[in-house]
Structure 1
Amino acid sequence: MSRLAAFVVTSALLLGTAACGGEDDEPARREPPSVAELDDQLGSDRPEKQEPLPSAPPLTEEFVPPESAPELGARLGRAEDLARDPATEEAVRAAAAFETQLLYRQLARTPQWERRARAAVPPRYRADLDAHLTARRSLRSVLTTLSAELPAWEIVEPAPTADLRRFYREGERVHGVAWELLAAINLVETGFGKIRGLSSAGAQGPMQFIPSTWAAYGEGDVTDPHDAILGAANYLAANGGGTGTTTGPGVENALYRYNNHPGYVDGILAYASVLERDPRALHGLVRWQIVYLSTIGDLWLPVGYRETAPVPVRAYVRQHPERHLGTDTR
């Protein structure tokens, strides 16, 4: 099993094929959204002129955890608003997205706060809060051991959100795989392509293909976001996921073939549900950071991190103490 980076499960596609779910059990295929419809849902990446918005904490400042559940819920609602609004200035938007990521992580490991935090979150985000907690806990269940070393990775900027959503739309149009599933897998596997490196199983590219699976289902360059996303859509469709929906036995079977752990399936479905409720959430998720869960807790690996060999986590923290985001390893 490959190592997880906080919200990232860098895992290989499984070999082989599986029988698709029975046609009688599959949900009705939905029509893929048009370019105009999805652009209208997602909004533009280009900020519009407006009065200055409240500033979220810059990425360079130390994250200060909330001291109470109501504070966490209130901060989460404010940060989600900023992260999803295309009019938010980019630096604030990126910081707000990072804030949501860290708040969801804190709440997932503080279950006694859940009820009161949920009450403090604006009602429009309560279903998303539930989904984020499900995703976090489900994906955490995939990991059985923690590493005392950081991986040999390079962390880079992801492709523009507009490009990514166009690739997801194409995957849905060509192969019938719901775009939200492709986006959720892209998030979980490599943080939308921010992680470059080889997993312990030899998986490559933003959708984490092993060479033999890429040879069977991919076309072009495994490291190219467009080609990788289309290859993943092809693989999922071949295993029953081309239903045009995010639910049903065919979809679940396809996700299980992608990574044979029920926690992985549940995590992907939870993130996909967030995007299905509000496609603008993609803007925030793309701006999430790479946070690696190690034996000493959460470590932030910012864009520009590049190591060609594993690095002891304690040595990394001595050099970058501001990137140690917490000691809880849950």
Structure 2
Amino acid sequence: MVADDATGLFDQLVTSERAVRDPAVTGKQLAFMGHLQQLVYRHLIERPDLRDLVFAAIPQDLRGAADLNIAAGADLYLFGPGGARELPAWRIVSAPPMSALLADYSEAEAAFGVPWYYLAAVNLVETRMGRIRGDSYAGAQGPMQFMPKTWDMYGEGDINDTHDAILAAGRYLSAAGAPEKIEKAIWMYNHDNEYVDAVMKYAEVMRADPNAFRGYYGWQVYFVTTSGTFLLPVGWSKD
């Protein structure tokens, strides 16, 4: 689906970036464009020779988001478990409806003062908006990946429930200093500088243009092992 030349990648990047921001693009077309956007950025991270050619021509109105997306993706390449030998014991499910997620982020923002786009960025990085069901290598659980002991302190309800988990994330980030000290709060959420940088960058893209969330909503679950990179589609399970 993704091109392997600078001209093709440029066309796909501009087309997908504009499409996900267009409210008239919905349904399967929006999902396709969001996934295409993700694939183009992944390919450009892996091919810096093509990235330089593509980025030299990106329209000015898309350049800020493109710079942040490529930098965030590079951060996650450093952060992620790229040396894993086998696929994780996860189950991949459909993300909750976009409207439901946005309502949950907004509720958490109203209750705890944490801007919605930070919660969305955490949700994106942790579980691709709740698509990943399963524990992390460290034992974190649920769509916002809470350690059970942390959940006991900040969670209410079900750690695996999207609404409850997003509210708990807002509660935790607020207690850790957000929104005034949001970067510190995100570091408290996950003690990794690359993780913090990625969340901050994706959040900034959505702050600058809330419609960017529509693209991220279409991003799928990919997992990197020593044998290669694998798409884990909805319905996939290691069992």
TM-score bin, normalised by smaller chain:
over 0.9
Aligned-partner SS, 1:86: coil
Look up the match of 1:165.
102
Look up the match of 1:277.
208
Aligned-partner SS, 2:56: helix
Q: Please point out which of 51, 68, 71 is paired with 1:114.
A: 51
Aligned pair 1:146/2:88, yes or no? no
Look up the match of 1:6.
none
Look up the match of 1:188.
125
Aligned-partner Cα distance in 2 for 1:262–1:89: 35
1:300-321 C-alpha deviation (Å, 9 max, x unpaired): 111110223xxxxxxxxxxxxx
- Name the TM-score, length of structure 1 as normaliser: 0.70
5+ residue gaps, structure 2, are none
CA contact (8 A) 2:2 2:40 kept: no
Look up the match of 1:262.
193
Look up the match of 1:201.
138
Aligned-partner SS, 1:87: coil
Look up the match of 1:65.
3
AA at the equivalent of 2:232: L
Q: 1:145 to 1:103 in 2, by over 3 A?
A: closer
Summarize the alignment of residues 286-301 of structure 1 with structure 2, pairs less than 5 Å apart.
286-301=217-232
Displacement of 1:292 after TM fit? 1.0
Aligned-partner SS, 1:162: helix
Aligned-partner SS, 1:150: coil
AA at the equivalent of 1:260: H
Q: Please point out which of 167, 174, 179 is paired with 1:230.
A: 167
AA at the equivalent of 2:74: R
1:136-179 C-alpha deviation (Å, 9 max, x unpaired): 11122223651121111111111111111111111111111111
Aligned-partner SS, 1:292: strand
Look up the match of 1:40.
none
Q: Please point out which of 30, 54, 64 is paired with 1:127.
A: 64
Q: Please point out which of 130, 149, 152 is paired with 1:215.
A: 152
Structure whose residues are more often helix by fraction: 2
Aligned-partner Cα distance in 1 for 2:59–2:10: 8
CA contact (8 A) 2:81 2:224 kept: no
Aligned-partner Cα distance in 1 for 2:172–2:187: 12
Displacement of 1:124 after TM fit? 1.8
1:96-149 C-alpha deviation (Å, 9 max, x unpaired): 111110100111122223332113323221111110111111122223651121
Aligned-partner SS, 1:134: helix
Displacement of 1:220 after TM fit? 0.8
AA at the equivalent of 2:164: D
1:213-253 C-alpha deviation (Å, 9 max, x unpaired): 0010011111111110010111111111133xxxxxx1111
- Name the TM-score, length of structure 2 as normaliser: 0.95
Displacement of 1:77 after TM fit? 0.7
Aligned-partner Cα distance in 2 for 1:122–1:78: 11
Aligned-partner SS, 2:191: coil
AA at the equivalent of 1:273: E
Look up the match of 2:34.
97
> How many residues are matched?
239
Look up the match of 2:21.
84
Look up the match of 1:240.
177
Aligned-partner Cα distance in 1 for 2:137–2:131: 17
Aligned-partner Cα distance in 2 for 1:283–1:188: 15
Larger Rg: 1
Q: Percent same amino acid among aligned pairs?
A: 42
5+ residue gaps, structure 1, are 1-62, 244-249, 309-330
CA RMSD of aligned residues (A): 1.4
1:39-80 C-alpha deviation (Å, 9 max, x unpaired): xxxxxxxxxxxxxxxxxxxxxxxx24332x233122111112
- Out of 77-86 and 193-202, give the one that drifted further: 77-86
